[in-house]
């Protein structure tokens, strides 16, 4: 398959780069002095794209008119315009399943950190305050007796629910539709879900359909004991409304692994005492990222060897 040309717009993990170099002819757009000139030169030869971030849209596809597949790194693929890919008859794949358990572990860890303020307590110790000023204050929130509302009960959402049940939490959920094989109470809107719980776990994908789905009304419904955790996409939460809700005491606190304009995090969020932040590390272990990278490679190999993708995005099934 070394005669097949693959476009790599940005650097990827060594496990991806080494295997693709061995199997295909890889064109690294990020190394070009003039990326547009390189695309004009090689665009007609490109049959596949390996990438971690976008955008992939009609503009790019017009420059690579013979592309057959976009193999995307990550379970989320809101950087890929699937309508444009469908119109151009380009397959799109992603990397689900292999990161489910890691992200669920991160979500529960972030939830506990946020509720019990473990990050803040650690900084209290590191700054010498325990010795000079005494113990860290008692936390106003507890894990005990909480109800978890999961916005997005897919693979990761279900894995989070399983873990949360072990902590004695009651589980409710919201998604695009009610799942007949799920016993948890279903709520038709994010606002209804928020009103039924005190801990809102956002696992929903990004995109126009979910943008700012968690808005001021949803946060108000969550209430003053409410905690918001987001390990889905930053765009799902209206960040300005979240900051206002935290500043005004509309909700109690927030734990965030994702943000609207990454890697930028608003200073106002960082100044709030009951906010725990992580730099988008939900799946960021070497083992899990390597498994995701391997799936990027395997999708490309499978496509060009058999004409079938291993993990096409739902729109392509």
Q: Which helix (H) or strand (E) covers residue 308, if one does?
A: none
- 262 an active-site residue? yes
What is the rounded CA–CA span in Å between residue 298 and residue 19? 10
DSSP E strand boundaries for the chain: 5-8, 25-28, 46-51, 69-72, 91-93, 147-151, 170-174, 199-202, 227-230, 253-256, 275-277
Select which of 262, 305, 308, 315 is catalytic.
262
What percent helix, strand, coil does the chain show, rounded to 5?
45, 15, 40
Token couple for 216: 């001021």
Is residue 316 within 8 A of residue 82, CB to CB? The reply is yes
Select which of 47, 94, 146, 233 is catalytic.
233
Phi, psi of 277 (to 5 degrees): -125, 145
Is residue 40 within 8 A of residue 32, CB to CB? The reply is no
Q: Which of 143, 226, 230, 234 lies closest to 191, judged by CA?
A: 226
- 280 an active-site residue? yes
What residues does 171 pair with on adjacent strands?
A: 148
What residues does 78 pair with on adjacent strands?
A: none
Contacts for 223 with CB less than 8 Å, ≥ 6 apart: 198, 250, 251
Catalytic residues: 233, 262, 280
């Amino acid at each position: 398959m070394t005669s097949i040309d693959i476009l790599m717009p940005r650097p990827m993990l060594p496990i991806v780069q080494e295997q693709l170099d061995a199997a295909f002819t890889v064109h690294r757009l990020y190394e070009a002095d003039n990326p547009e000139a390189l695309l004009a030169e090689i665009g007609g030869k490109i049959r596949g794209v390996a990438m971690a971030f976008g955008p992939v849209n009609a503009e790019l596809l017009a420059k690579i008119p013979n592309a057959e597949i976009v193999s995307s790194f990550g379970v989320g693929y809101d950087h890929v315009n699937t309508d444009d890919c469908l119109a151009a008859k380009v397959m799109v794949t992603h990397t689900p399943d292999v990161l489910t358990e890691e992200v669920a572990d991160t979500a529960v860890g972030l939830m506990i950190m946020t509720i019990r303020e473990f990050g803040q307590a650690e900084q209290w110790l590191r700054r010498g305050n325990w010795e000079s000023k005494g113990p860290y204050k008692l936390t106003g929130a507890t894990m005990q007796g909480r109800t978890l509302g999961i916005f997005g009960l897919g693979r990761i959402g279900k894995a989070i629910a399983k873990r949360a049940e072990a902590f004695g939490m009651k589980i409710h959920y919201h998604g695009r539709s009610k799942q007949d094989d799920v016993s948890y109470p279903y709520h038709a809107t994010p606002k209804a879900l928020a009103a039924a719980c005190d801990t809102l776990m956002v696992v929903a994908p990004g995109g126009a359909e979910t943008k700012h789905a968690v808005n001021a009304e949803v946060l108000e419904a969550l209430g003053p004991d409410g905690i918001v955790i987001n390990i889905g996409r930053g765009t799902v939460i209206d960040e300005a409304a979240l900051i206002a809700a935290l500043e005004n005491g509309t909700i109690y606190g927030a734990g965030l692994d994702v943000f609207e304009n990454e890697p930028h995090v608003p200073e106002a969020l960082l100044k709030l005492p009951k906010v725990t932040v992580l730099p988008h590390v939900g799946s960021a272990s070497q083992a899990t990222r390597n498994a995701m990278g391997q799936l990027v490679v395997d999708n490309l190999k499978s496509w060009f060897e058999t004409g079938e993708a291993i993990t096409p995005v739902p729109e392509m099934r």
